[in-house]
Structure 1
Amino acid sequence: MKKPVENKNVFLTLEHLLKFEWLNTVLNFKIGSQKSNSILSGRYTSKLRGRGLDFEESRPYVRGDDIRNIDWNVTAKTGKTHTKVFTEEKEKPAFVFVDQSATMGFGSTHKTKAVVAGELAAIVAYKILKGGDRIGGMVFKGADYDLITPKRDRRNILQFFQKIVNANKAIYEHKSFDFSDSLSQMASKLRNIITHDFMVVIISDFYRYDPQTIKHLSEISEHNDVILVKIYDPLEVELPKTKMTLSNITHQLQMKGNKKVVANLASDFETNYNNFKSEVEKYNITLFKINTVDKLENQLVQLFNRQTQH
């Protein structure tokens, strides 16, 4: 008897995640508002004063600058002392947090939030590996998590993917949890791993975030670049006006959204998202959202095209 084929839109497989390696050739991720010039493209450049490095620009001289770096040509033209700024290539290790807790198991039309989160984690991991940097991650399961230490090793990525797949297959077995308490425990653990100059990508629906969540995120962002990706389902934004049936495997609920409920739901989602975005941007944290219906690579292309235009 053949084993039934699992729906890849509901449950992830290792084979499915491995297929996202090809996207490296067609996607160019850049977020201009971040501290690093190309946040998902591997190694980055930082401004340093030194000799034997690549010249980047000239700027007005500041007391304490090395006088050997004075740009005499610009100084002569402007009448004001200028110094040369050089660039050096530095490592940009990455850490990817992937939420595979119970609330991520929801999907109304195409894929579940958990599946999209796993796919995005695979894209990011391959992009970082291609840049030659270390990549590690954490798979969040609610009350528990799996941790993969950052390494510059393809086998490390495969282990990370397998942890995502394992958590995803057990997603409907997870018990309820407090997101803030769980994040507090993980933040403490992460501080021992993520020291400084990391790129930290956190993929979640950020269900029931609170001020304590913001506090932990701000602490991580003090010495690292942090990107938050909110995965959402369109049904969380807008209920259909027709009758529909909701199910959590054991129970079913029939409901019909009236105009007031539909309007309030859409307003609450946008208000919540905008408030969250406003809060995290105070700490130079980037937040964007991805839905479960539109093709993931198309959403990423549109997203980063908008970013580079700003």
Structure 2
Amino acid sequence: MKEILQKLQKFELRIRKVIDTQMQGDFHSVFKGTGLEFDEVRAYQYGDDVRTIDWNVSAKGHGTFVKTYKEEKEQSVFLILDVSGSQNIGPEKQQKINIGKEICGILALTAARQTASIGLICVSDQREKFVRPGKGIEHAYSLIKTLFELKPASTRTNLASGIKTALSVIKRRSMILLISDFIDRNYEKEVTMLARKHDLIVVQLMDQKEQNFPKLGIIPLRDAESGQVSWVNTSSEAFREKYLHDLTRNRENLQLLCRRHKADYLAIDTSADYVLQLVNLFKIRKKTRKSA
């Protein structure tokens, strides 16, 4: 555990240095609140947006009143991590699940140092772990320890079910980081609901072996989730074309879904330096805020 924390702290320091160097210090925290929360009501003034009128208060007959809002200063952050069997693909210590956990750890430490409240939900085809939001470095360390000690009860994936669980427990508008390889189906409706209610960032984990499937002839392939084994001709052009088509279509559909609902999308290649890829996340957040 000590080794893991030292590694995450080292990565976090790299991210902060890159941000300071490339952005010349002009950086607003990625965990800063992006929405507005109700402050008070006041008397209507000429030029006020009529959409802000509080009709319930105005109906009492003491004049017309409008709602005023203030920027959210305290941001709640939730990490939703897919821990299903398909995440166990990749070289030892560089599997998608390992990278996903490390990303969660880095973000937890970063959020703690920016006084953000951070929670964790791990999902497969069921809720595997729920860590209530908390602040401070001790909470971040506890979250990381819980995450790396987790042994999922199920290997199967059901992102739709996992997202529904998140929607049921996250009541206040929050920043959500949904981390998965998205090797699943029929989760679009739930991702849409998540994006409409919260500030959503989608992080898709990808392994090079999945994208460049080697020609190995006829071999047995074991489904990491169901455990079923099937014999497949990996050298067949028909197999390779369908496999690549399905993989590409999955990624393109996810990107389109994110654009449609104004959710940020980041692809993480587990074989590359994901720290630099994470910096792209911060850049996206900065650009979004400047154009807002």
TM over 0.5: yes
Q: Which residue of 2 aligns with 1:20?
A: 8
Corresponding residue to 1:231 among 200, 205, 210: 205
Q: CA RMSD in A?
A: 4.0
Corresponding residue to 1:197 among 160, 168, 173: 173
AA of the residue aligned to 2:115? G
Q: Which residue of 2 aligns with 1:220?
A: 194
Corresponding residue to 1:102 among 85, 90, 99: 85
CA distance in 2, matches of 1:235, 1:244: 17
Q: Which segments of 5 or more consecutive residues in structure 1 lack a partner in the other structure?
A: 1-12, 31-37, 51-60, 67-84
CA distance in 2, matches of 1:151, 1:276: 30
Task: Assess if the C-alpha contact under 8 Å between 2:76 and 2:174 holds in 1.
Answer: yes
**Given the superposition, is the C-alpha separation of residues 156 and 227 from structure 1 closer, same or farther in structure 2, using an over 3 Å criterion?**
same
AA of the residue aligned to 2:156? F
Q: Which residue of 1 aligns with 2:252?
A: 274
1:154 equivalent to 2:137? Answer yes
CA deviations on 1:160-204 (whole Å, 9 max, x unpaired) are 21222122xx46xx5453515xx42x4444334322331011111
Q: How does 1:1-310 map to 2 (within 5 A)?
A: 13=1, 15-27=3-15, 41-44=30-33, 61-63=47-49, 88=71, 90-108=73-91, 111-167=94-150, 170=151, 174-180=153-159, 183-184=160-161, 186-210=162-186, 213-241=187-215, 256-301=234-279, 305=283
Task: Assess if the C-alpha contact under 8 Å between 2:181 and 2:205 holds in 1.
Answer: yes
Query: How far apart are residue 105 of structure 1 and its match?
Result: 0.8
Task: Assess if the C-alpha contact under 8 Å between 1:113 and 1:233 holds in 2.
Answer: yes
CA deviations on 1:81-139 (whole Å, 9 max, x unpaired) are xxxx9974611110101122211111158711100100111121112111111011112
AA of the residue aligned to 2:269? N
Three-state SS of the structure 2 residue aligned to 1:44 is: coil
AA of the residue aligned to 1:123? I
Q: Which residue of 1 aligns with 2:43?
A: none
Three-state SS of the structure 1 residue aligned to 2:197 is: coil
**Given the superposition, is the C-alpha separation of residues 47 and 224 from structure 1 closer, same or farther in structure 2, using an over 3 Å criterion?**
closer
CA distance in 1, matches of 2:254, 2:239: 22
Query: How far apart are residue 48 of structure 1 and its match?
Result: 8.8
CA distance in 2, matches of 1:205, 1:290: 9
CA distance in 1, matches of 2:3, 2:157: 32
**Given the superposition, is the C-alpha separation of residues 150 and 41 from structure 1 closer, same or farther in structure 2, using an over 3 Å criterion?**
same
AA of the residue aligned to 2:30? S
AA of the residue aligned to 1:100? V
AA of the residue aligned to 1:42? F
Query: How far apart are residue 294 of structure 1 and its match?
Result: 0.7
TM-score (normalizing by structure 1): 0.67
AA of the residue aligned to 1:298? L
Q: Which segments of 5 or more consecutive residues in structure 2 lack a partner in the other structure?
A: 20-26, 40-46, 53-67
Q: Identity across aligned pairs (percent)?
A: 17
CA distance in 2, matches of 1:223, 1:254: 42
AA of the residue aligned to 1:218? T
CA distance in 2, matches of 1:124, 1:158: 11
Task: Assess if the C-alpha contact under 8 Å between 1:198 and 1:225 holds in 2.
Answer: yes
Q: Which residue of 1 aligns with 2:57?
A: none
**Given the superposition, is the C-alpha separation of residues 268 and 109 from structure 1 closer, same or farther in structure 2, using an over 3 Å criterion?**
farther
TM-score (normalizing by structure 2): 0.70
CA distance in 2, matches of 1:48, 1:99: 30
Task: Assess if the C-alpha contact under 8 Å between 1:100 and 1:142 holds in 2.
Answer: no
Q: Which residue of 2 aligns with 1:35?
A: none
CA deviations on 1:203-253 (whole Å, 9 max, x unpaired) are 11122131xx22222222223101111111112112124669788699898
Query: How far apart are residue 292 of structure 1 and its match?
Result: 1.7
**Given the superposition, is the C-alpha separation of residues 18 and 203 from structure 1 closer, same or farther in structure 2, using an over 3 Å criterion?**
farther
CA distance in 1, matches of 2:118, 2:81: 13
**Given the superposition, is the C-alpha separation of residues 291 and 190 from structure 1 closer, same or farther in structure 2, using an over 3 Å criterion?**
same
Aligned residues: 256
